[in-house]
Amino acid sequence: MGSAPVNYVNTAAILLVAYLAVFIESWPGGLRTWLRTQVDLLPALMVYCGLSTGLVTLSLTAVLGGLWFDTFSANPLGISILPQFLVGFCVYLARDLILRDQPYALDPRPRWQRGGTTPHRAFTLGRRLSASGRVGLTVAVDRHDPGRWPAHPSVLLVLRSPRSRPRLQPPDRNDLSPRPRDQARPRLNMLIFDQIKKGDPTLRIVAVSVALGLGVLLTGLWYIQVVSASQYRADVQEQSLRIIRVPAIRGKILDRNGFALAENRASYNVNLYLEELRRYFRYEYTNRLVPEYRSAHRGTRPVGKDDEALQHAARYRVVSNLMLQVSSLVRNPQLLDEHQFTNHYDNSRSLPFPLIRDLSAQQMALFVEKSARLPSLALEVQPHRIYPWTNTAAHLLGHLKRDSNPADDEDISFQFRLPDYVGVMGVELTFDEQLRGHPGVKSVLVNNLQYRQAEEILTAPEPGQNVVLTLDLTIQRATEKALRAVGPDTRGAAVVMDCLSGDVLAMASSPSFDPNMFTSRISEEEYAKLSDDELRPQLNRAALGTYPPGSIFKIIVALAGFESGLITTNEEFLSKGYYQINGRGIPWHCTAPAGTYDFDRAFYLSCNCYFIDHGLQIGFERIAEMGRRFGFGGRTGLTTRQEAAGYFPSPTDKIKKDGSRWMPGDTANLCIGQGELLVTPLQVAVMTAAIANGGEVLEPRLVDRLEPMDPSLGGNVTPFAKAQVRHRLRIAPAQLQIIRNAMLLDVEHRDPKGRLDGTGKLAAVDGMRICGKTGTAQLKEGRKLKEHITWFASFAPFETPRYALVVLIEGGVSGASTCAPVAHDIYEAILKREQQQTKPPAGTLAAR
Amino acid sequence: MLKRPHYIALSLVLFLVLVIVNLPTQTATHLKLALGGLFLPLFGLATSAHALTEQAANALIPRPALLARLEQLQRENSQFRVREMQVAQIFRENERLRQSLNWQKQAQWKLRAARVIVRDPANWWRSIQIDAGQRDGIVLDLPVLTPDGLVGRIQQVGATRSRVALVGDPECPVSAVVAEGPVRDYGVIASGSPGVLDGSLVNLTYVSRPAAMKPGQRVLTSGIGGIFPPDILIGHIVDTNNVGFGLYTEARIKLGANLDSLEEVWVVLP
């Protein structure tokens, strides 16, 4: 083989060099130790072989060198042979060209060795090593013996000194004589056209036939490539490319101090790449299932549906075995869901099949260390939404649900969508678009069997924005803790609001739920608890629960009375302990004892008789008008829009909810916060804040700003305006001060013996002067008392009001005994919070 | 233009490659071992030459230097003896406490020393071969270490030689844990770090909590993956990098063991 006889000595020498080269590369004390990097010597040897040896030597060197190399490497045996061979083979094929067409260089050998004036050709490979010097590698080819050329040119590798002009060029351009053409090698065009010109008929027939055939082919090609191009292009794209929606990382929800209320954690999943399992499918089908089928069907081969069923069974068996192996490996044995696998195979074959989801740290460790020999598996990461504080602020934050068909990218037709989630309620719903960011687009090239061939990210997903709330995590948790302290399954709510800015610092509703449940599987027990009709854990009682306000409404009656001049602080009123309109009819009982009351005493002892009597004098219209000024009967403007308007009668229409005529008894009920009105705790908080801040009815502010997920990378911050005033009460400051003083007495008033005797006394906290008003409304079913709705509306500190706090408990004993202690706990936490810096509360769940 | 001999050569080589590459794994392993045997004389020669060179170099060390070295070693020896006494005391105390708590006794490591005889000549693998095989009780997946830290795991076993996949090779993923910090942060060392000419860096990835990782912290084997015993030093954190907007963290680890100049390693026997 080859154009020259094999020089065995030369071949043996080259193989010895290859052997030594592999040894030098592999020996621990070899080249690597000296050079501190691995140098591969075999390609250089193959270049040498290509230039100087025949095909036999070249092939032998490639085969043996590659085999030896792979022996000491982790490479599959034989994998290096072909690359080595191709290097040498390409050089071998082009060596005439390489050795003839390079510029001349000086023959580095001494004159006596050149043997005459025969030109020697050489080329120089070199690079500048320093400004002053240059080292070149010269390959000089001995053409002294014309008989040996081109089979055995001698090649010398010479390191030579810098030349004056470090450029590739002939030593003397003037002496460059034209190279004589090798007459024994006719040019290519001469081979073809000269023969035709000579009039060879056979050749002409062949040429015409070929030309005709080519014409037919070219016409067909033109039809396919030009006429039907667009159709084919569309078909091919549809058949071979799958456009996949890649969800972006969802933005975080943070409290006002930057502590995460909702964030993402990595979920580690084991995915299976089906395309890499094809040979296992084929093996299972050919070597196991088909023989079984043939033995059961008297040797007939499976066809049609039988064949399809066998192929499916083969795939299922292979994947099922892998599932069992992997799940056993991670000590969580699972069985493959056949329906799920079939569905994935039929519809999303080009996507990896999720084998096991959400590995724990230990499972991940087991998987990575022990799965090295299992095929086609990959550990992949997906963001998983978590609420690190579980139940905390769950109603405000809301939760997510899995949604594989979101409607935010209608302009792109996706074939597949990777799992994504959308907000269902709360902030997650209201700011869903901002939190979700923009999905990315990935294209997957699939083959005719719909298996994945390659993939490319066309558009990278843009992460969502962070939503920074006005909530204070510490106060929120303290509020929820105080509510839970009332008892198991407490039905209630509490709102803490900044009186001056309207910032909602805490909004709690009890019972609560864990929003983490919705991003994983909900057990039946959990679902039953979530659906409980009485507890209604998903209801945000603070904004969506509507209740009769009871005695806290006396604040409105008092303000209407002050404004109309029908209530004065000095005037005294004699209470009999009950009240009858015009001295007859069903009496309204009073929890305050019979006796003489001025305004302050009537307020802090919550005397119903006083307020009914004065309310009837003030009249329904003035009271209703004052209530409207505080925003009762309308939504407060909470950002999440998930709030109820409640019910409040119109001052102009003296009709009731059921359309019947308004009666004086209804006004009497209204004066003590019963009957024809329903309010939310949030509305009461807005009212209390307005009393505290001097008459501004503020919009509750829940969101402080939207910011980029990583603020350090820049991007726009969208702030939400503070202290948005919905109404100004236009009430004389002195009258508001009377109410504030009366609310202080409700908590701090002492009897002659020095004991606290206001209804809100249990809310008192050392170090903070609290102003409050208790309320206890009756909730009836028909004429029967169902339960009490108990309230405590308050603000603090008295001197410079900052916090408005409203507590509501369904089924409590009274506002004084049930809600005031809850407020006490919350104020204590607020006081403590003010005294400490903004640092994360103890027991942070982020450490879980 | 290709000629007939060219086609023949190309076809023969292609055929040979196809046959060899498609050999069953076991046959290929045996073939590798057989081919590797061809080099044994050369390795023996090189080792002897190396030893001779060392001996010659040792012969040239002046006597005062040797005496100084001897004195230093004696000093160290006495220190180690004292420490051994302390360790024995701690061991006894540990035994007592374990018995009182009914704590499961940790298996003692059985170590087998082995010499590195071959480095992987290919740049894209991190593997070595050692002069211990099945005859020495070596089986697949055994951890390999040096006193400076983890080296890798046994990837292939022959009768007298074994291949070790080094830490950072895709064939040697390790479950790791950051030693210092309030809680144990687990991660995975699955690949080498693409550092120019620096094989001593590997990537620790999938660490869930970024805050706890700081440069200089030690990274140990977690011991929960079932292959490597716990608390073997892997290396120290060089720097960290947040991935996926804080979804998880990656860190570059400077390996404790110098994989570029391994001469002797220890295999942890079962």
What does the pLDDT look like over A234-281, one tens digit per residue? Answer: 666 555 677 777 788 899 999 999 999 999 888 888 988 888 888 899
DSSP 8-state code for residue A843: T
Which segment of A134-143, A243-252, A541-550, A662-671 scores lowest on mean pLDDT? A134-143
Cβ <8 Å between B119 and A3? no
Cβ <8 Å between B248 and A266? yes
Residue range A114-126: mean pLDDT, rounded:
43
Q: How high is the pLDDT of residue A664?
A: 87
Residue that wins the pLDDT comparison between A781 and A574: A574
Q: Is the pLDDT of residue A189 over 70?
A: no
Q: How high is the pLDDT of residue A551?
A: 93
Nearest to B17 among A36, A71, A81 (CB): A81
Q: Which residues of chain B are within 8 Å of residue A362 when distances are taken between CB atoms? A: 224
Q: Is the pLDDT of residue B74 over 90?
A: yes
Cβ <8 Å between B121 and A381? no
Cβ <8 Å between B20 and A81? yes
Q: Is the pLDDT of residue A840 over 70?
A: no
Q: How high is the pLDDT of residue B197?
A: 53
Q: Is the pLDDT of residue A197 over 60?
A: yes
Mutate to test the interface with B, among A39, A369, A386 (most CBs of B within 10 A): A369
Q: Tell me the percentage of chain B whose pLDDT exceeds 90.
A: 38
Q: How high is the pLDDT of residue A2?
A: 44
Instruction: Using alpha carbons, select from A545, A397, A386, A546 the residue that is nearest to residue A471.
Output: A397
Provide the phi-psi class of A404: left if phi over 0, else alpha when psi is between -120 and 50, else beta.
alpha
C-alpha B66/C-alpha B59 separation (Å) is 10
Nearest to A74 among B12, B127, B208 (CB): B127
The answer to whether the peptide bond before residue B62 is cis (omega within 30 degrees of 0) is no
SS3 letters across B98-139:
HHHHCCCCCCCCEEEEEEEEEECCCCCCCEEEECCCHHHCCC
Q: Is the pLDDT of residue A728 over 60?
A: yes
Highest mean pLDDT among A31-45, A292-306, A606-620: A606-620
Q: How high is the pLDDT of residue A120?
A: 43
Cα dist from B8 to A92, A303, A374, A712, A759, whole Å = 15, 41, 39, 64, 107
Nearest to A72 among B13, B120, B171 (CB): B120
Any chain A CB within 8 A of the CB of B165? yes
C-alpha A691/C-alpha A710 separation (Å) is 40
Given a contact cutoff of 8 angstroms between Cβ atoms, the answer to whether A694 and A733 are in contact is yes
Residues 6 or more apart whose CB falls under 8 angstroms from that of B3 comprise none
Cβ <8 Å between B121 and A93? no
Q: How far off is chain A from B204, nearest CA to CA, in Å?
A: 13
Mutate to test the interface with A, among B119, B124, B177 (most CBs of A within 10 A): B119
Cβ <8 Å between B262 and A28? yes
Cβ <8 Å between B122 and A37? no
- Give the count of Cβ contacts less than 8 A between chain A and B: 195
Interface of B with A in 32-51 (CB under 8 A): 32, 35-36, 38-39, 42-43, 46, 50
pLDDT band at B48 (very low <50, low <70, confident <90, very high): confident
Please name the amino acid found at residue A574.
L
C-alpha A554/C-alpha A546 separation (Å) is 18
Beta bridge partners of B255: B235
Cβ <8 Å between B121 and A25? yes
Residue that wins the pLDDT comparison between A443 and B46: B46
Q: Is the pLDDT of residue A113 over 50?
A: no
Q: How high is the pLDDT of residue B86?
A: 92
Q: How far off is chain B from A367, nearest CA to CA, in Å?
A: 7
Q: Is the pLDDT of residue A590 over 70?
A: yes
C-alpha A264/C-alpha B242 separation (Å) is 13
Residue range A373-390: mean pLDDT, rounded:
86
Any chain A CB within 8 A of the CB of B129? yes
Residue with tokens 């051994």: B84
**Which tens digit of pLDDT belongs to each residue from B226-263?**
899 988 999 999 988 888 777 888 899 999 998 888 88
Please name the amino acid found at residue B191.
S
Residue that wins the pLDDT comparison between B18 and A155: B18
Q: How far off is chain B from A482, nearest CA to CA, in Å?
A: 30
Cβ <8 Å between A27 and B13? no
Residue that wins the pLDDT comparison between A792 and B52: A792
Kind plus residue range of the DSSP H or E element containing A140: strand A134-142
Task: State CA A551 to chain mean position distance.
Answer: 48
Q: Is the pLDDT of residue A700 over 70?
A: yes
SS3 content of chain A, % helix, strand, coil (to 5): 40, 20, 40
Nearest residue in B to A31, CA atom: B121
Nearest residue in B to A42, CA atom: B121
Q: Is the pLDDT of residue A28 over 60?
A: yes
Given a contact cutoff of 8 angstroms between Cβ atoms, the answer to whether A677 and A707 are in contact is no
Residue range A795-806: mean pLDDT, rounded:
95
Q: Which residues of chain A are within 8 Å of residue B257 when distances are taken between CB atoms? A: none
C-alpha A691/C-alpha B33 separation (Å) is 90
A359, two tokens: 């590995």
Nearest residue in B to A65, CA atom: B35
Q: Which residues of chain B are within 8 Å of residue A78 when distances are taken between CB atoms? A: 16-17, 19-21, 23, 28
Interface of B with A in 106-125 (CB under 8 A): 116-123, 125
Q: How far off is chain B from A140, nearest CA to CA, in Å?
A: 25
Nearest residue in A to B127, CA atom: A74
Residues 6 or more apart whose CB falls under 8 angstroms from that of A672 comprise A550, A551, A553, A554, A588, A608, A611, A612
Name the 3-class secondary structure at A653.
coil
Q: Which residues of chain B are within 8 Å of residue A4 when distances are taken between CB atoms? A: none
**Which tens digit of pLDDT belongs to each residue from A473-491?**
999 999 999 999 998 889 9
Helices A554-564 + A733-748 axis angle, to 10:
140
Beta bridge partners of A495: A507, A806
Cβ <8 Å between A62 and B183? no
Given a contact cutoff of 8 angstroms between Cβ atoms, the answer to whether A777 and A547 are in contact is yes
Cβ <8 Å between B186 and A40? no
Residue with tokens 């929003």: A515
Q: Is the pLDDT of residue B173 over 80?
A: yes
Is the ipTM higher than 0.90? The answer is no
Q: Is the pLDDT of residue A204 over 90?
A: no
Instruction: Using alpha carbons, select from A501, A421, A470, A401 the residue that is nearest to residue A253.
Output: A470
Residue that wins the pLDDT comparison between A415 and A749: A749
**Which tens digit of pLDDT belongs to each residue from B75-122?**
999 999 999 999 999 988 888 888 887 776 666 778 999 999 888 888
Residue that wins the pLDDT comparison between A145 and A248: A248
A758, two tokens: 């206001």
Burial class (CB in 10 A: 0-12, 13-18, 19+), A545: buried
A811, two tokens: 């089924």
Any chain A CB within 8 A of the CB of B205? no
Where b means 16+ CB within 10 Å and e means fewer, A27-52 reads bbbbbbeeeeebebbbeebbbbbbbb
- Please give the model's pTM, rounded to 2 decimal places: 0.72
Residue range B50-60: mean pLDDT, rounded:
86
C-alpha A284/C-alpha B197 separation (Å) is 45
A826, two tokens: 């919350």
Which segment of A585-589, A761-765, A799-803 scores lowest on mean pLDDT? A585-589
pLDDT band at A148 (very low <50, low <70, confident <90, very high): very low
**Regarding beta strands A416-417 and A241-246, do their DSSP bridges make them parallel or antiparallel, or are they unpaired?**
parallel
**Which tens digit of pLDDT belongs to each residue from A734-746?**
999 999 999 999 9
Residue with tokens 């040897």: A45
* Residue A550 CB-half CA count within 13 A: 27
DSSP 8-state code for residue A182: -
Interface of B with A in 224-253 (CB under 8 A): 224-228, 244-248
State the maximum Cα–Cα separation within chain A, in Å, rounded to a whole number. 146
Cβ <8 Å between B116 and A28? yes
C-alpha B188/C-alpha A750 separation (Å) is 67
Residue with tokens 């056979």: A202
Which segment of A222-226, A264-268, A431-435 scores lowest on mean pLDDT? A222-226
Q: How far off is chain B from A85, nearest CA to CA, in Å?
A: 8
Q: How high is the pLDDT of residue A160?
A: 42
Which segment of A181-195, A652-666, A716-730, A803-817 scores lowest on mean pLDDT? A181-195
Cβ <8 Å between A93 and B2? yes
Q: How high is the pLDDT of residue A133?
A: 35
Please name the amino acid found at residue B249.
T
Residue range A423-435: mean pLDDT, rounded:
92
Cβ <8 Å between B122 and A75? yes
Q: Is the pLDDT of residue A171 over 60?
A: no
Q: Tell me the percentage of chain B whose pLDDT exceeds 70.
A: 92
Q: How high is the pLDDT of residue B262?
A: 87
Alpha helices by DSSP H, A695-819:
733-748
pLDDT band at A5 (very low <50, low <70, confident <90, very high): low
Given a contact cutoff of 8 angstroms between Cβ atoms, the answer to whether A693 and A631 are in contact is no
Angle B221-B224-B229 (CA atoms, 0-180°, nearest 5)?
50
Highest mean pLDDT among A132-136, B136-140, B184-188: B136-140
Cβ <8 Å between B127 and A381? no
Q: How high is the pLDDT of residue A844?
A: 44
pLDDT band at A556 (very low <50, low <70, confident <90, very high): very high
Q: Is the pLDDT of residue A135 over 60?
A: no
Cβ <8 Å between B6 and A362? no
Q: How high is the pLDDT of residue A209?
A: 87
Q: Which residues of chain A are within 8 Å of residue B163 when distances are taken between CB atoms? A: 74
pLDDT band at A841 (very low <50, low <70, confident <90, very high): low
Instruction: Using alpha carbons, select from A249, A275, A297 the residue that is nearest to residue A421.
Output: A249
Q: How far apart are the first and last CA of chain B?
A: 61
Q: Is the pLDDT of residue A587 over 70?
A: yes
Q: Which residues of chain B are within 8 Å of residue A27 when distances are taken between CB atoms? A: 43, 46, 118-119
pLDDT band at B160 (very low <50, low <70, confident <90, very high): confident
Alpha helices by DSSP H, A353-504:
361-370, 394-397, 426-430, 432-436, 473-484
Q: How high is the pLDDT of residue A6?
A: 62
Cβ <8 Å between B119 and A67? no
Where b means 16+ CB within 10 Å and e means fewer, A342-376 reads eebbeebbbbbbbbbeebebbbbbbbbbbbbeeeb
C-alpha A531/C-alpha B166 separation (Å) is 56
DSSP assignment of A691-705 equals HHHTSEEEPPB-EEE
Q: How much is the mean pLDDT over chain A?
A: 82
Q: Which residues of chain A are within 8 Å of residue B4 when distances are taken between CB atoms? A: none
Q: Is the pLDDT of residue A159 over 60?
A: no
Mutate to test the interface with B, among A46, A73, A84, A93 (most CBs of B within 10 A): A73
Residue range B150-169: mean pLDDT, rounded:
90
Instruction: Using alpha carbons, select from B184, B209, B241 the residue that is nearest to residue A846.
Output: B209
**Which tens digit of pLDDT belongs to each residue from A463-475?**
899 999 999 999 9
Nearest to A78 among B17, B46, B173 (CB): B17
A53, two tokens: 């040896």
Q: How high is the pLDDT of residue A413?
A: 64
Q: Which residues of chain A are within 8 Å of residue B116 when distances are taken between CB atoms? A: 28
**Which tens digit of pLDDT belongs to each residue from A79-100?**
999 999 999 999 998 888 877 6
C-alpha A233/C-alpha A441 separation (Å) is 20
Residue that wins the pLDDT comparison between A488 and A408: A488
Q: Which residues of chain B are within 8 Å of residue A709 when distances are taken between CB atoms? A: 245
Alpha helices by DSSP H, A172-303:
188-197, 201-222, 229-240, 278-284, 290-296
Residue with tokens 């294209």: A443
A302, two tokens: 């499976």
Given a contact cutoff of 8 angstroms between Cβ atoms, the answer to whether B180 and B218 are in contact is yes
Q: Is the pLDDT of residue A116 over 90?
A: no
